[in-house]
Amino acid sequence: MGKVDLLVFNRNRIILFVVLSYGISWLIWIPNVISYNFNVGWNLSNWLHIFGGLGPLMGAIISTSILDKKQGMKKYFQERFLKLPSAKWILIGFLMPILFFVLIYLFLGIFTGEWTNLSEIGLNSKVPFTNIFSIWLLWCFFYGVGEESGWRGFLMPELTKKYKARISTLYTAFIWAPWHLPVFFYDKDFIAMGLLGTFGWIVGIIFGSFLHACMHADVMENTIGKVANYFNSHRMMRR
């Protein structure tokens, strides 16, 4: 059997990846949808919400193993997990969210008179921990590695084999956004956004995709860089 040409655009890779990513995440989230909307006798599970974030990573791994075999798996893990981006982009990825937080914190405090209690920063009702570092590690793995290894680590590079970067970025955003659909049917934060908030969230999804694309040359191909960069945009949107 000849080697798989990993440099050639393959529509089947994208179709299989999207089906698996949606299917795995949605199957994990569906019990929460049922629990929230129907009287079935069980409570919402924070762990199901969290584990659903692994769908894109699992979709990328399974798709690669099926279509690209051992050759593709080796290339995927080497480039996404072992090839380090430059220290500059990792530093930018971690410092930018801190800057954004400070600006938002000062803006809300000055113009609304409500100063957020810093001891509550990072606490989230969806996470079964109260230790800030544990919460940070959990989000990094399940939604940093879990999502970005798929959307930017698999889907975006595959699209750029055929389309220009801007078009690939839009396609990625349009595929990424509906993946969250079940969450809108059980997560109170998402439900509370309403139509206007949802529109703003979609704009944020698109902006986040372009922000990631701007770092494509040095960061996009590597999951470590994407996880750091992940907090620039996606963590600014409450999950």
What contacts 96, CB < 8 A, 6 or more positions away? 231, 232
Query: Strand ranges (DSSP E) for the chain?
Result: none
- The pLDDT tens digits along the chain (239 residues) read 455 556 788 889 999 999 999 999 999 999 999 999 998 988 889 899 999 999 999 999 999 999 888 888 888 888 777 776 677 777 776 777 778 778 878 887 888 787 877 776 666 677 777 777 888 888 888 888 899 889 988 999 899 999 988 899 899 999 999 999 999 999 988 998 888 889 988 988 888 777 766 655 455 445 544 554 454 444 444 45
Instruction: Please report the pLDDT score of residue 186 as a whole number.
Output: 94
Instruction: Please report the pLDDT score of residue 19 as a whole number.
Output: 97
Based on C-alpha coordinates, what's the Rg of the chain?
19
pTM: 0.79
Instruction: Please report the pLDDT score of residue 122 as a whole number.
Output: 65
State phi, psi for 170 to the nearest 5 degrees: -65, -45
For the four alpha carbons of 92, 95, 101 and 106, in that order, the dihedral sign comes to: negative
Instruction: Please report the pLDDT score of residue 216 as a whole number.
Output: 54
Instruction: Please report the pLDDT score of residue 61 as a whole number.
Output: 94
In whole angstroms, how far apart are CA 118 and each of 98, 107, 125? Answer: 13, 15, 16
